[in-house]
Amino acid sequence: MREPGYRFARRLAVPLRGLAHRFVYPLLVLGAFALMILGKADLILIERMRATMADALAPILSFMSEPAARVADVIEHGRELVRLREENVQLRQENERLRQWQVVANRLEQENAQLRDLARLTAEPPSSMVSARVVADAGGIFVHSVLIGAGAKAGVGKGNAVMTSEGLAGRVATLGDRSARVLLLTDLNSRIPVMIESTRERAMLAGDNSHQPRLLYLPSTAHPSAGERIVTSGDGGSFPPGLPVGVITDIGTLRVQPFVDFNRLEFIRVIDFKIEGPVVQTEVPRGRDRR
């Protein structure tokens, strides 16, 4: 048997709960709009909330992404087995070609060193590198970004270049202690200063949530051809010049096909080139600076 006090409280609680129910829903809807407005105002508080949440859940996502990657690997292995012989022949030919390139590269490296010495060129600043696993991928309906399982504690910095072995993937947009968000170069808000590798003509690579970002502000005198390589220009100071980005696929609309396959991002490298640029200077003091 329950005592009368409990019953009284229960009798009181029912209408109270009804009242609360009536107001909770509209309040929460207002709360959602408030979050959007606060987020738009770029409050540091909102950024922190997001980073804290990502930090807290990144280990779970990381734990889950390992078997997920295993599943993807198994599928990939099956596919590879089918065309093993064909691929072997291809690789042997490629190996042959690359060997020749290696000889050329060695020679050029020596020549480069000698010329640098002659011209007394200052050495490029040293860069540090952090490898990390992609733990969450939003899928790109509204934003093209991924969450990685390394943050300020591992030495990742805001604005750092994010690369795969194929080329530039994006840059670090928000930073937590144990996680970081990478804005991919296909995102609507991604702007990366680039140039055409052969002619050194500058442009801005602007994402628009499609698979192929566009070149903006290319000088009208420039007449690029399809298949030309696009590399970072180093303007603006957040990236060094010469990082491979992609190739021009459409001369009319100036679309660029990135080298990185964004469907298969598994491990990425965050590279801090130690260049003081506008992006680095606006860094919110946290993580590394606190220590």
Partner 1 sequence: MTPTAAERMDDWGRRLAPFATVLVLLFFGLVPFGVPGLPLIAPAGTQIAVFYWAVYRPDLMPPLAAFGLGFIQDALAGTPLGIASLAFLILHGIAVNQRKTFIGKPFLLVWLGLAVGALLAAFASWALASALLGGVIPLERPLFQALATIALFPCFCWVLVRIHRGVVH
- Residues 269 and 291: their CA atoms lie apart, in Å, by 24
Does residue 163 touch partner 1 according to CB under 8 A?
A: no
Tokens found for residue 56: 């807290």
Does residue 57 touch partner 1 according to CB under 8 A?
A: yes
Number of residues that bind partner 1 (CB under 8 A): 54
Which three-class secondary structure state does DSSP give residue 251?
A: coil
Instruction: Give whichever of 208 and 228 is closer to partner 1, judged by the CB atom.
Output: 208
- Cβ 96 to partner 1 shortest distance, Å: 31
Report whether 268 contacts 145 (CB < 8 A): no
Does residue 180 touch partner 1 according to CB under 8 A?
A: no
Does residue 41 touch partner 1 according to CB under 8 A?
A: no
Report whether 74 contacts 81 (CB < 8 A): no
From the list 94, 189, 178, 176, the residue with the least C-alpha distance to 132 is: 178
Tokens found for residue 8: 């009284």
Residue 287: DSSP 8-state: G
Does residue 64 touch partner 1 according to CB under 8 A?
A: yes
- Cβ 68 to partner 1 shortest distance, Å: 5
- Cβ 210 to partner 1 shortest distance, Å: 7
Query: Per-residue x/- marks for partner 1, 107-146, CB under 8 A?
Result: ---------------------------xxxxxxxxxx-xx
Tokens found for residue 48: 């922190």
Tell me which of 24, 91, 108, 121 binds partner 1, using CB under 8 A: 24
Q: Which residue has the tokens 């709360």?
A: 31
Tokens found for residue 172: 């670090």
Instruction: Give whichever of 134 and 196 is closer to partner 1, judged by the CB atom.
Output: 134
Does residue 44 touch partner 1 according to CB under 8 A?
A: no
The CA–CA distances, whole Å, from 154 to 35, 90, 106, 114, 261 equal 30, 39, 33, 36, 25
Does residue 168 touch partner 1 according to CB under 8 A?
A: no
Residue 123: DSSP 8-state: P
Positions touching partner 1 (CB under 8 A) are 24-25, 28-29, 31-36, 38-40, 46, 49-50, 53-54, 57, 60-61, 64-65, 68-69, 71-72, 75-76, 134-143, 145-147, 173-174, 181, 188-189, 208-210, 263-266
